Amino acid sequence: MTDEIWFDRPDSLVDLLPYRIKAAGRTTARADMPLVRQKFNQHVLILPISGIGLIRLGAREFRVVAGNLVWLDTARQYAHGCVPGTMPWRYLWLGIQGHGLEALFGALHADDEPLVPFTDLGWMTDGFVAAIGRLRDPGPASAAENSALVARLISFLVGARGTTAQVAGAPDASMAALAARMRSGLAHVWRIADLARSANLSPAQLHRRFRQAHGAAPIDWLR
């Protein structure tokens, strides 16, 4: 796998801004290379340039080509790489942090459908390339410009997926399905690790979302 990776540097403005690009780069993944699976505990936006990528979330797989923006939470179980038997998959990526990303990720159902199609490749490609350049050669306004880019990308994602977003107080369909599954198998010995894996969440994320949906942790809810 061929990588160009740049990381942000300490900046006095970072803590005052809503979003931060922690790392960014360009990657060329070949079909004979293993899938990326590392957990970086940050959100990643992937912009495919050419080739066909494979995104794996649990048992589900997605094919990714140019014209789709991918949103992954790398604290969760995932894998991505080039589709076997195809030409190299080239993409740009941003590792981002910021206010409300975890909640928005769930509200926009990115954990179930990480691909968001778009038609205007120009501004998005320019934005990713500029962000990589700002990490490589930072200037006095780099942190603010990167925060503004993330805000624009989030605005795009909300606009593209907003009609299906889960508003505050609405039922969490994923947790409702998990609760129904547990209720139908009361004799089964349920383990948090297995439940989290089936929901493609970490144990901590499962506890938080299940408690928000049902008022108790999963095991306590069963009692």
Query: Can you tell me the mean pLDDT for 29-55?
Result: 93
Question: Regarding the domain delimited by 2-164, which CATH topology (the fold level of the hierarchy) does it fall under?
Answer: Jelly Rolls (2.60.120)
The domain ranges of the chain are: 2-164, 173-222
- Of 24, 1, 21, 28, the residue nearest 129 (C-alpha): 24
Three-class SS of 13-34 = CHHHCCEEEEEEEEEEECCCCC
Q: For residue 18, is pLDDT > 60?
A: yes
Residue type, 38: Q
Mean pLDDT rounded to a whole number for the chain:
86
**Banded pLDDT at 1 (limits 50, 70, 90):** low
Q: CA-to-CA distance for 20 and 151, rounded, in angstroms?
A: 10
Q: CA-to-CA distance for 134 and 143, rounded, in angstroms?
A: 8
Q: For residue 181, is pLDDT > 80?
A: no
Q: For residue 169, is pLDDT > 60?
A: no
Q: CA-to-CA distance for 174 and 220, rounded, in angstroms?
A: 18
Q: Of 91-100, 113-122, 166-175, which range is least confident?
A: 166-175
Residue 91 DSSP SS3: strand
Q: What is the pLDDT of residue 173?
A: 63
The predicted model scores a pTM of: 0.74
Query: Can you tell me the mean pLDDT for 141-147?
Result: 94
DSSP string computed for 161-187: HGGG---TTS--HHHHHHHHHHHHTTT
DSSP 88: P
Helix axes 121-136, 142-161, angle to 10 degrees: 150
**Banded pLDDT at 165 (limits 50, 70, 90):** low
